[in-house]
Amino acid sequence: MDIQIKRRFNEKELPDMQSVLGDAKKIASEFSIGETLFMKKHGVKSEAEYKRNMIKAGKLMKHSVIGWNSWSATEQGFKTVYKGLERAGSFIDRLGVALDWVMGVPKEYRNKFQAGGSLIFQTQEEWNALGQVVPVQPHLGDHMIGSLNSVENTVSGLRAGVTAIGNLAQYFTYEYPGLDLELYRTENYMKAIAIMAEFKDAGAVLHCNLDDGYGAQFHDVANLVGWAKLERYIAEELLGGRVAHTYGNLFSDSVLRIVFNRAMGMIDKYGTPGSFINGNTIDYGTDISRNYGALCSYSLADIICQMKYPSGYAIAPVPLTEAIRIPSAEEMIEAHCAVDMMMEKAPYYEKFINWEKINSEAEILVTGGNIFFERVINALDDLGIDINHAGQITGVLKAIGPEQLEVAFGVGAGDKNAMRGRVPIRPTSIIQTISKIQDDVISRQKFEETGPLTGMNVVVGSTDVHEFGKEIIKNVIKKAGANVFDLGTTVSIAEIADTLIETGSNVIALGTYNGMAYSFGKDLLISLKEANLEGIHVLMGGRLNEPVGGSDIPVDVSDMLREMGINADNNVDTIVDVIASYK
Partner 1 sequence: MERGLTLKFAILVDFGSTYTKMVCVNIGERKVVATDKFPSTVHTDAAIGLCQCFDAARTAIGHENFKSALKLATSSAAGGLRMAVVGLTKAVSVEAGRNASFSAGAKIVFSMNGLISGKDLEEIEDAGAEILLLCGGYEGGNTHGLLHNATVLSESKLAIPVIYAGNSFVAQEIRKIFMNKGKECFLAENIMPVIGSLNIEPTADIIRNLFMNRITNMKGIGSVQKEMDAPIIPTPAAVLSAGALLCRGTKNEIGIGSFMLADIGGATTDIYSYIENKSFQGAKCIGSPEPFAKRTVEGDMGMRESSICLTRELGEKNLAERCGISETFLKEAIEKRIICKDYIADDSREKIIDYQIACSAVNISARRHAGYVAKEFNDGCCLVQRGKNLTEIKTIIGTGGIIVNEENPFPILENVRADASETGHILLPERISTLMDHDYVFFAAGLLRKYDEDAAISIMKRSLRLT
Contact footprint for partner 1 (CB under 8 A): 6-8, 10, 175, 177-178, 180, 457, 463-464, 483, 485-488, 490-495, 497-499, 501-505, 514-516, 519-520, 523, 546
Identity of the residue numbered 9 = F
Cβ proximity to partner 1: between 346 and 497 the closer is 497
SS3 312: coil
Q: Are strands 413-414 and 422-423 parallel, antiparallel or unpaired?
A: antiparallel
- Tell me the C-alpha distance between 100 and 300, whole Å: 32
Q: Give the β-pairing of 545-547 and 554-556.
A: antiparallel
- How far apart are CB 556 and partner 1 at their closest, in Å? 17
Question: In 249-328, which ranges are continuous DSSP H helix?
Answer: 254-266, 288-308
Distance, CA of 422 to CA of 542 (rounded, Å): 27
At closest approach, how far in Å is the CB of 209 from partner 1? 22
Task: Report the nearest approach of partner 1 to the CB of residue 112 (Å).
Answer: 13
Helix (H), strand (E) at residue 509: strand 507-512
CB of 438 to partner 1, least distance (A): 22
Residue (of 559, 552, 473) closest to 512 by Cα position: 473
For the bound state, the minimum distance from the C-beta of residue 490 to partner 1, rounded and expressed in Å, comes to: 5
CB of 517 to partner 1, least distance (A): 10
Q: How far apart are CA 227 and CA 243, in angstroms?
A: 13
Residue 330 vs 381, nearer CB to partner 1: 381
Count of residues making up the chain:
583
Other CB atoms within a 10 A radius of the CB of residue 75 amount to 16
CB of 437: closest distance to partner 1 in angstroms?
25
Local structure of residue 348 (DSSP, 8 states) = H
- Give me the helix-helix angle, 221-232 and 355-382, nearest 10°: 60
Of 533, 532, 520, 530, the C-alpha closest to 566 is: 520
Nearer to partner 1, 15 or 515 (CB): 515
- Per DSSP, what are the bridge partners of residue 484? 458
C-alpha triplet 267, 268, 272: angle, nearest 5° = 165
Q: What is the DSSP letter of 104?
A: G
Q: How far apart are CA 153 and CA 97, in angstroms?
A: 13
Q: Which one, 76 or 457, has the nearer CB to partner 1?
A: 457
Q: Is the C-alpha dihedral spanning 179, 120, 326, 337 positive or negative? A: positive
CB of 498 to partner 1, least distance (A): 4
Amino acid at 524: L
Minimum distance from residue 147 beta carbon to partner 1 (Å) = 17
Contacts of 254 by beta carbon, 8 Å cutoff, 6+ apart: 280, 297, 298, 300, 301
Strands in 106-204 per DSSP E:
137-140, 164-165
- We find the least distance from the C-beta atom of residue 512 to partner 1, in angstroms, to be 8
User: Which is nearer to partner 1, 258 or 524 (by Cβ)?
Assistant: 524
Peptide bond into 545 cis (omega under 30): no
* Residue 305 or 491 having the CB closest to partner 1: 491
DSSP 3-state of 60: coil
- Residue 423: CB minimum distance to partner 1, A: 22
For partner 1, give the closer residue by CB, 342 or 484: 484
If the CB atoms of residues 38 and 171 are measured against partner 1, the closer one turns out to be 171
Question: In terms of CB distance, is 328 or 483 closer to partner 1?
Answer: 483
The alpha carbon dihedral of 302, 336, 133, 121 has a sign of positive
Please, which residue, 293 or 455, has the CB nearer to partner 1?
455
- Nearer CB in complex with partner 1: 198/546: 546
